[in-house]
Amino acid sequence: MVRPLSVAFVHPDLGIGGAERLVVDAAVSLQKRGHRVVIYTMHHDLSHCFAETRDGTLDVRVGGNWLVPRSIGGRLHILCTTLRSLMLARQIVNDSEQYDALFVDQLSAPIPLLKYTHAHIFFYCHFPDYLLARRDTLGQKLYRAPFDLLEEFTTGEADEIVVNSRFTQETFRKAFPHLGKIPKVLTPALNFEAYDRPVDSGDPLLRALRTEKQIVLSINRFERKKDVGLALRAFALCLQENGPDRAATSSCCLVAAGGWDPRVVENTQYLKELDAQAKQLGLRTRTIAPQRASKDALALLPEEAASASAIVEDGSTDQLASVDVLFLPSFTENQRAFLLSAARCVVYTPANEHLGIVPLEAMYMRVPVVAANSGGPRETIQHGQTGYLCEPTEDNFAGAISRLLTMDDDKWRAMGDAGHDRVKLAFSLDTFGAKLEHLILGMLQRPTGASVVLGVLVTLFIFFAVTTTLLLTWWR
Q: Angle at CA 439, nearest 5°, toward 435 and 441?
A: 115
Q: What is the pLDDT of residues 119-158, one digit of tens each?
A: 999 999 987 776 666 666 777 777 677 787 888 888 989 9
Q: What is the pLDDT of residues 97-125, one digit of tens each?
A: 999 999 999 889 999 999 999 999 999 99
Determine whether 294 is exposed, middle or buried from the number of CB atoms within 10 Å of its CB (0-12, 13-18, 19+).
exposed
Strands 6-13, 325-329: parallel, antiparallel or unpaired by DSSP? unpaired
State the DSSP string of 147-210.
Answer: HHHHHHHHHHT-SEEEESSHHHHHHHHHH-TTT----EE----B-HHHHHSPP-TT-GGGGGG-
According to the model, what pLDDT value does residue 138 have?
76
Average pLDDT on 203-213 reads 92
Distance between CA atoms of 16 and 260, rounded to whole angstroms? Answer: 9
The residue type found at 96 is: S
Q: For 282, left (φ over 0), alpha (ψ -120 to 50), or beta?
A: left
Q: Count of alpha carbons within 13 Å of 362, Cβ hemisphere only?
A: 28
Q: What is the pLDDT of residues 235-287, one digit of tens each?
A: 999 998 644 454 555 689 999 999 898 988 899 999 999 999 999 999 999 99
Instruction: Name 219's bridge partners.
Output: 257
Distance between CA atoms of 230 and 280, rounded to whole angstroms? Answer: 14
Model-wide pTM > 0.85: no
Q: Count of alpha carbons within 13 Å of 69, Cβ hemisphere only?
A: 8
Q: Is the distance from CB of 355 to CB of 147 less than 8 angstroms?
A: no
Q: What is the pLDDT of residues 376-405, one digit of tens each?
A: 999 999 999 999 999 999 999 999 999 999
CA-closest candidate to residue 121, choices 111, 131, 106, 130: 111
Q: Is 254 helix (H, G, I), strand (E, B) or coil?
A: strand
Q: What backbone torsions phi and psi does residue 446 show, to the nearest 5 degrees? A: -100, 150
State the DSSP string of 302-365.
Answer: -TT-B-HHHH--TT-S-TTTT-SEEEEET--HHHHHHHHHHEEEEEE--TT-S--HHHHHHHHT
Q: Is the distance from CB of 53 to CB of 11 less than 8 angstroms?
A: no
CA-closest candidate to residue 389, choices 336, 337, 353, 436: 353
- Whether 79 has a pLDDT exceeding 70, the answer reads yes
CA-closest candidate to residue 357, choices 209, 195, 123, 216: 195
Q: What is the pLDDT of residues 419-473, one digit of tens each?
A: 999 999 999 999 999 999 999 999 999 988 655 545 555 555 556 555 655 554 5
According to the model, what pLDDT value does residue 453 have?
46
* Helix 409-426 / helix 357-364 crossing angle, nearest 10 deg: 120
